Every structure is written in structure tokens, then in C-alpha cells.
Amino acid sequence: MFGLLRLLARFGAVFLFLFLEGICMYLIVRFNENQKAIFASSASYFTGSALNQYQKVTRYARLQKQVESLQKEVSRLENESWKMYYLDQAKTDTARMRLDTLGLVPVYSVVEAQVINNSVSGAKNMLTINRGKKHGVSPPMGVITSNGIVGIVRHSTEHFSSVMSVLNTQTRISASVKGKGYFGSLVWKGTDPRHAWLLDVPKHNPVHPGDTIETSGFSTLFPKGVLVGVVRKRWVPSGESNYLIQVELSADLTHVNQVYVVKNLFRKEFDQLEQLSANE
Amino acid sequence: MNNPIIRQGLRLLFFLLVQVLLLKQIPLGPIGPFYADAFVYPLFLLLLPQRTSLELLLLLGFGIGLFVDMFYDSWGVHASASVFLAFIRPGMLRRLEPKGGYNLNYGLTIQRFSLNWFLRYAAFMMLFYLGFYYSMQVFSPVFFLEIIAKTALSFVTSMLFILILMLIFNPLD
């Protein structure tokens, strides 16, 4: 105690100097636009390059897993690619249908992307991916992995986009029970990164634990039939007419790396159509 | 007028008024691509007697700087520079100690020392002050040349005004 006092008496002025300069620095960065901008950009320059270096190192460690998931993804896409086409000519003669002669127009195209920043611990989690306007990514677009949905693109810059994760309390995604067709909104209530909740499914529809949940395709964000997860628990809260369904997400968002941004090539048209009906 | 605290208070008020009402309003330049500023209010910190404690100097520098910042709309920039000025004052005085040593009660003025000594003292202090001030104003080492240029230009104008004030009033303490 005595030593501390002696230290203060000896260097009190130095501490006071540092303290006052600290206040000044705070004022400068807080209230002066130029200095604030320089401070912010230098800070993000340092953190940004640090994040990038970190990614470079960890990417190697995950290379093997990534290759495997890519191979799986390629074969899945090959198998299911017909789902992503829209028959442009209304031909009914399916017997002679051939892809090249029928004029098939794709509805969705996907842009592959790497996750370069991710959080799962907060209530409003976001991801950053390394694709932006330059690659045709612009909000809103759905983001998926080979085994589930990831989130929705919120902002895009030239080379990067921020994605509102499924694990964000503001995200609502239309999802349905596979093979049965009744649908609801998928939301997340914070805290548990493995589980989300499906709301608004009326209780007269039978839903059982183990049922698969997929996207409903009722928006331009996700195609129909992208895997979301599996029903774990479901019950009807007293006094309500809808199920509360706990869904175990199939995509592990704590380890997501390779993702695909889903572009709906007809989005403009859909938007125009909805605009027309809204104006009526 | 014999109470030193009242005398110093009036002097401070006068310097601050000259600074924010007169010198802030006169645009000096552009000289080349730069505008020069003139600062005389640090003179108050320079003139305080040797025995003034460092803590008091720091607090005065902080308060005066913030007051000037209010008028220049540059929160913290002047304050940080004048706190720095107060901090280096004792060290600078040790370096410039004249042969006979100091009398702790004397103000650091031309009358108590000499024109030569005072000019050296004021010049070194103002160089540090202006260098720190423009570093904080520009806030990035990228604009190193701009900091140097502004410091040099403002050094000339500030020293000119300081010299004029000192010669007109020529205070004893």
C-alpha cells in the first residue's frame, strides 16, 4: 500500500498526463469526422488482414473435408439438376423430351463462396462471404450448403457480402414438412446454435418427431426442397392453435465453410408480379 | 492587480480572447497549398512561474485546450496538444537552464531572463506544440509532409504574434 502511494507520488504527473491524453484521444476519435474515419479504417484494415491470414491457415486444415463435401455436392447437383430447370415451351409430349431441343431455361443458378467470418454466439449472428456484386450476389438471396440452409444475403459490396444467419433472431424463412406440404416460419430464439423453431403450423396437421423439414419454395430466396433439418420435439402450447416445433438444423453453422449463394434468375419478374398484385 | 492568481487569470482570459476572437477569424494564407494558423494561447503555459507543479500545468493545459477546442470545433485536438506542451515543460526548462540557475518564483519572461533565452525557449516549445497539434489534426502518418509543412508555416506566424505580444506588454512575471 505504502509502495503504491510512493509510486503515485513519484509518477502521479505521468499518470495524469496519460489519463488526460487518453481523454483527448477519445474526444478526437469520437467527435471529429476526419479522425474518426481514419481511426475506423485503420482499425478495420488491421483486423481485416488478420482475419484473412487466419483464414488462410485454417483453410488448409479443412481442405480434405472440403474436397469430400464438394464431390458430394457435385454428384447431388448432377442428380437433381432437373429440379432447377423450368420448361420454357409448354410441350406435353414427354416421351420425346430432350434437354437440348426443348429450350430449358434455368430458374436458379448458384455462386460458390467461402465463409470468411462467422459468429454463432450472439443473438443476431452474421456471416461474411467472399462473393459480392462483382459475382452477381446482391441482397436478398438465399445461402445454402450441401446439407442445409445457412442464411440470407443482407448487404453486398464489390467483393464481399454479409449474410444474416439462420441463427439470427430476425431471420424468418418459410419452411414445410417434407412430403406433406404444410408450412410455417422457421425462426431462431437465440442461445442454441443446433436448433431452430418452426412456428405457425396449424395443430390439426400431423407432425411427428423425425419428419424432415425442407424449404417451401414460397419465396424467391430458396428453391423448393432444400434440406433444413429434422423435427426433434413438437407440442401445442396451451391455448394456442399452432404447433411449436423444435427443428434440429442439418447444417452445422458452427463449422460452415463452403457455401452456395442461390440466385433466382426470375426474381425481377417475380418482384414485378408481386408489385402488380400489391398495387391493385 | 497584486494578487498573482487574479493577474494570471486576467492574462489567460486575454490570451483566449485574442485566440478565438482575433486569430481564429483571420485566414493566413494560402501559402502554397496550405493555410497557416497562429496560436498565442500556449504562451500562458509558457509564462507560468517555474514552481508551478506539473499536475497543475497538465490540468490547466487540458482545460484551456478544451476551451479553445469549443471555438475551433475540434474536440480534443487542442487539448491533447496543450497537455503535451505542459508535460514537456519541466524537461525543456532543465535543458535550457541558464548559468545562474532559476529563481523558482520568477515567471519565465523576457524581463526576468533575456530576449535571447526567451526566444529559444518559446521556439522549442512552440515547435513541439505545433508538431503535436498537427499530428493530432491530420491524424495519420501518411500525411507526414503535410504535418511538417503546416508546422513550419504556423511556427513562423505563431512566433511572430508571440513576440509582438511580449514586446508590447513585456510582463515582469
Over residues A157-174, the mean pLDDT reads 88
- The confidence score (pLDDT) of residue A88 equals 46
Of A41-55, A189-203, B2-16, B139-153, the poorest mean pLDDT is in: A41-55
* Position A96 confidence tier, pLDDT thresholds 50, 70, 90: very low
Q: Which grid cell is B171?
A: 510582463
pLDDT at B171 over 90: no
- Chain A, chain B: beta-carbon pairs less than 8 Å apart: 61
- Scanning every residue of chain A, which has its alpha carbon at the shortest distance from the alpha carbon of B82? A21
Listed by start position, the domains of chain A span 173-249
Backbone angles phi, psi at B80, to 5 degrees: -65, -40
Over residues B122-130, the mean pLDDT reads 95
- Examine the predicted complex and report whether its ipTM is higher than 0.90: no
Burial of residue B39, with CB atoms counted within 10 A of its CB: 0-12 exposed, 13-18 middle, 19 or more buried: buried
Is A13's CB within 8 Å of B54's CB? yes
Q: Which of B77, B79, B140 sits opposite A38 (nearest CB)?
A: B140
pLDDT at A107 over 80: no
Of A47-56, A174-183, B126-135, the poorest mean pLDDT is in: A47-56
Cis previous bond, B42, omega within 30 = no
Residue predicted with more confidence, A244 or A72:
A244
CATH topology of domain A173-249: Thrombin, subunit H (2.40.10)
Cis previous bond, B30, omega within 30 = yes
* Position B90 confidence tier, pLDDT thresholds 50, 70, 90: very high
pLDDT at A222 over 50: yes
Q: CB of B149 within 8 A of CB of B29? A: no
Of all residues in chain A, the percent with pLDDT exceeding 70 is 89
- The confidence score (pLDDT) of residue A220 equals 79
Strand partners, A129: A115, A161
Backbone angles phi, psi at A200, to 5 degrees: 70, 20
Dist. CA A72–CA A68, nearest whole Å? 6
Is B76's CB within 8 Å of A31's CB? yes
Q: Measure CA B70 to chain center.
A: 17
pLDDT at A178 over 50: yes
Q: Which position has the grid cell 458452427?
A: A254
Q: Which grid cell is B35?
A: 493555410
Listed by start position, the domains of chain B span 4-169
Secondary structure (H, E, C), chain B: CCCHHHHHHHHHHHHHHHHHHHHCCCCEEEECCEEECCCCCHHHHHHCCCCCCHHHHHHHHHHHHHHHHHHHCCCCHHHHHHHHHHHHHHHHHHHCCCCCCCCCCCCCCCCCCCHHHHHHHHHHHHHHHHHHHHHHHHCCHHHHHHHHHHHHHHHHHHHHHHHHHHHHHCCCC
pLDDT at A98 over 60: no
Query: Dihedral through CA A211, CA A214, CA A219, CA A221, nearest 10?
Result: 150
Q: CB of B74 within 8 A of CB of B46? A: no
Residue predicted with more confidence, B62 or A81:
B62
Chain A residues touching chain B at CB-CB below 8 Å: 12-13, 16-17, 20-21, 23-28, 30-32, 34-35, 38-39, 42
pLDDT at A81 over 90: no
- The confidence score (pLDDT) of residue A90 equals 43
- Scanning every residue of chain A, which has its alpha carbon at the shortest distance from the alpha carbon of B62? A20
Is B75's CB within 8 Å of A25's CB? no
Is B74's CB within 8 Å of A32's CB? yes
Q: Which grid cell is B142?
A: 501518411
For residue A259, give Cα distances in angstroms to A129, A265, B45, B113.
8, 19, 62, 76
CA distance B8 to chain A (A): 22
Average pLDDT, rounded, for chain A: 81
- Opening angle at CA A160, ends A157 and A162, nearest 5: 90
Closest CA to A250 of A231, A223, A267, A277: A231
For residue A269, give Cα distances in angstroms to A173, A266, A272, B123.
21, 5, 5, 72
Q: Which grid cell is B57?
A: 500545468
Dist. CA A232–CA A2, nearest whole Å? 63
